Amino acid sequence: MAANFRRIGGGLAMLVLGGSLLMLAGCGSAANVAAAATPLQAPAASVVVQKLQIINGAQPRYSPAYWSVKAGDTVVLSITSNDDGTAPLPAGSPYATVQGTVGGTEAVDGNTVTAIPVDQVAHTFTIPSLGVNLAIPAAPKGGTVTVQATIHFTKAGVYYWHCFAPCGDDPNGLGGAMASPGQMEGTVTVQG
């Protein structure tokens, strides 16, 4: 059985082996140039639903306190709470106003709002470095409240979130859970 090689044009070679024809593309051939010129496509951004729960026990806490998404993801954040106590904010506090969300709004049990009255706030979910703030109102007695908002996470990094409603157990409301990582503070890791 004889093998025949023959150069054809820009680096293509034909191999005839036992009556079968095999085409090979050599370095610098038009086939390789075309493949190299095809850009790689970034994976499409996705919509992610992230559920958090405020657990009202001896000290309130968010669960999970630490979570992650990918850069470019749009996150539908859903926070459910059964905490029926308030942690009133001072008049004019920026933490009663929704910030950094799509449309500058959140939905409280399906009703779209831009702020919660300062005397009805129980907690906040605030990422200062991203300008994100959600105000969480007190739940009705014996019930729950669900706050939903859509947030775009565009830049990779580790972002700290905190509750800025004074819901802690010391006289000024800033101790206990408010000062405890994994309770009223945590992180969102945005992976590149």
pLDDT in tens, 33-63: 444 444 555 556 799 999 999 998 888 999 9
Pair (124, 176) in one structural domain:
yes
In the predicted model, is pLDDT for residue 31 greater than 70? no
Q: Is 89 in the same domain as 119? A: yes
- The range of the structural domain enclosing residue 30 comes to 3-37
Query: Does residue 13 share a domain with residue 82?
Result: no
Q: Tell me: do 25 and 117 sit in the same domain.
A: no
**Same domain as 142, residue 73:** yes
pLDDT over 60 (residue 91): yes
Sheet holding 66-70, edge to edge: 66-70, 185-191, 157-162, 121-127, 132-137
In this predicted structure, what is the pLDDT of residue 41?
56
Residues 71 and 42: their CA atoms lie apart, in Å, by: 12
pLDDT of residue 184: 95
pLDDT surpassing 90 at residue 21:
no
Domain with 64 in it: what CATH number?
2.60.40.420
In 6-158, which ranges are continuous DSSP H helix? 30-37
Residues 94 and 184 occupy one common structural domain: yes
Task: Quote the number of domains for the chain.
Answer: 2
Tell me the whole-structure pTM to 2 decimals: 0.76
| Contacts (Cβ under 8 Å, ≥6 apart) of 125 | 52, 62, 77, 79, 132, 133, 134, 136, 147, 161, 163
Q: What is the pLDDT of residue 40?
A: 55
Q: How many residues does the chain have?
A: 192
